[in-house]
Chain A
Amino acid sequence: MKRATRAVVDHPGGQRGTPAPQGASLRGALTELFSGTPGRLRGWGALVAAICLTFGVVGGLTSYNSTSALERARDDTDQVFRSQNIYADLMLADATAGNSFLVAGDERESDRRSYDEALESASRGLASALAAQPADVRPLTEISVAVTEYARRIDYARAENRSGLVVGGEYQRIASTDLRENLPMLVDVREANQTRAQRELAWPGLQAQVLLGATIATVLLLLCCAGWLTHRFNRWFNAGLLTATLLVVLGAAVAVPTLLGLDDELDGYRAGPLADTIALSEARQSAYSARSLESLDLIARDADTSNAGNWTTAYLTAHNALTAVGENPATLEKYEAQHRRIVALDRDGQWSAARDLAVNDTSATFAKLDHQITRRLSQERLASQRAMAPRPILAGLSLGLPALGIAAAVAALIGINHRLREYR
């Protein structure tokens, strides 16, 4: 390479004479180190090495953080599903207990088993949920207490009912009402975790932007350095800087599309399997809630139709949720027709016929509805597991990008050192 023809003025640093204080001597040494053309070359070298290393660190962290965000999102969505399962289990238990109360001592063994299993599943779910997310401890603890109280009251209700004591109906009503009053806390848990999950799921996109910004800043600085060298040394080409630039661009060319692709994928997951799972769970719990309210009305044998409005709300919530995910609501609509018939029979004074319909016919309808929803839920859960699975490429980038950053820094320093040697 040709040496620069342009006049270069050196500015030897440090004045000789009386010894300078230690601070002044250090400042003087630094001034000497970075003064004049060699000093500026050293300065550029430090700067491009630093920016290349920064690119490597940023690249590594964005990849690593995307992996971590994915893990956290998986934990949060698991908590969303857990809270919804607990809700559905409790509603299933309440609907079964209410339905069984109507036949007192003639309770079917399968119904009792179903109640026990649902309550046990809810308790296990609560234990898992409590262990999984410290931020949810207060509401989940409160719900655990409510579930214990609910189970106790239902046992009383059942025992009193079997003895023919009317106080059993009051225990059943209070148990169900108290449980329902506590369930909004479970909705809070679901919503809080859904919000957390959605925030985590947005991270890969944000990380892609950060990495793109870091790439642009690094490349611009490398180009500035190359421009300065061209200007100073009249050399158009510096292999080290070019290599560093290519390494940075190469790393970004792999990492940014990977992160953006992941972001797209997660967007699809949020709008698809995650939203569908939430809607399906809501449909399931609302349908059971409607059935439980129906039993409460039959138990109360009351002219007061205070549960009618709540029943309609629960039914419509279930119906809207099912149709929103493209599920056929025919079975749910069949239950609605049965419910209307039950209400009509009850109002017509045919309580026993209404009770028989509620205990027998709707049980079959609900078995079918539950099968329909849980089958689809299983599919969505599989899709969820796939979407939340670890991405090996992110692990590779977490290590690869810092390595590329180091390599780029070394290449850039070699390129600048080459000029420094030429200058000397």
Chain B
Amino acid sequence: MNIFTHFFSRAKQDPKAIEASIRQDLMRREALVGKTVFGPIPKGRDREFFRIDNHTWIWQENWKDEGKSFSITTKYVVRNRDVVKSVNGGNYEKVPIAEASRLDRAIQTYVKRVGRQVYGVAV
């Protein structure tokens, strides 16, 4: 049962609650597509790429090596004239032009795929 069937199977719902649930589900669906933006994910590795807020993106990689767990979370904040990032909650630093350009391309790919796979819209 998907979230919509679940919600609409009930006789009465608060419209605001339904809207909030739809937004949440859209974010979840977009995040599933975001996983694929950087190509195939190697076995034993988990990847996330999603938007958490206006102008704010998260790229997360989790993996294990020799029984130890590793995780890198990079938070990108796109500003009007540059991009800054924080890795694993560290200080924000301005990213080089090349990295900003790669993030731009990743977001374009994300939008194309999300448009096609979630919203049924060609970009």
Answer yes or no: are A and B bound together in one complex. Answer: no
Binding site for A on B (CB under 8 A): none
